[in-house]
Amino acid sequence: MAGQRGRDVLIKISDGNIPEAFETLAGIRSTEIELNAGSVDATAADSPEGWRELISGAGIKTARVHGQGVFKDAASDERMRQVFMSGVQSRWQLVIPGMGVLTGAFHIRELKWTGAYDAEMGFAVDLESAGLLTFEALP
């Protein structure tokens, strides 16, 4: 697979309507997507030569997303603020170029805005998975 442009990694938020549409968070400059699969230790006194044993598929899966960029005051910013202030979970899409799209419920763990008097206003958002995520491979 050829190299991929970082700017093609996208964080999209659902508009909450039916049918559902997703809008890219405006102004994103950097994105980090982290998938985790916890393990459950099944090691016992009779484990072969004392080697750790794990129970396959028993751990908790989680996803964390961090996005950071320039505040644009777009419709996607308003939707993100609305979801955070209401404390509800929303559906999000994470586009990973050359691989596919992860879609599912996320909780906004942190939302912040930054600004220096001689620079642009920025924002950052941290998401944590809150349910089943589906993966659709890109063609």
- What digits encode the pLDDT tens for the residues 124-133? 999 999 999 9
* Domain parsing of the chain, residue ranges: 6-34+62-137
Q: Which residues of the chain have pLDDT under 50?
A: none
- The torsion region of residue 104 among left (phi > 0), alpha (psi -120 to 50) and beta comes to left
Q: Which CATH class for the 6-34+62-137 domain?
A: mainly beta
Instruction: Provide the sign of the torsion angle of the four alpha carbons 129, 80, 94, 134, taken in this order.
Output: positive
* pTM (predicted TM-score): 0.87
CA-to-CA separations, 87 to 9, 55, 58, 101, 121, in angstroms, rounded: 26, 35, 29, 25, 24
Which element (helix H / strand E) includes 87? none
Amino acid 45: pLDDT: 92
Residue identified by tokens 């994105």 is 31
Amino acid 76: pLDDT: 87
Half-sphere exposure of 24 (CA within 13 A, CB side): 13
Amino acid 134: pLDDT: 96
User: What does the alpha-carbon distance between residue 70 and residue 93 come to, in Å, rounded to a whole number?
Assistant: 20
Both tokens of 113, joined, read 């805005």
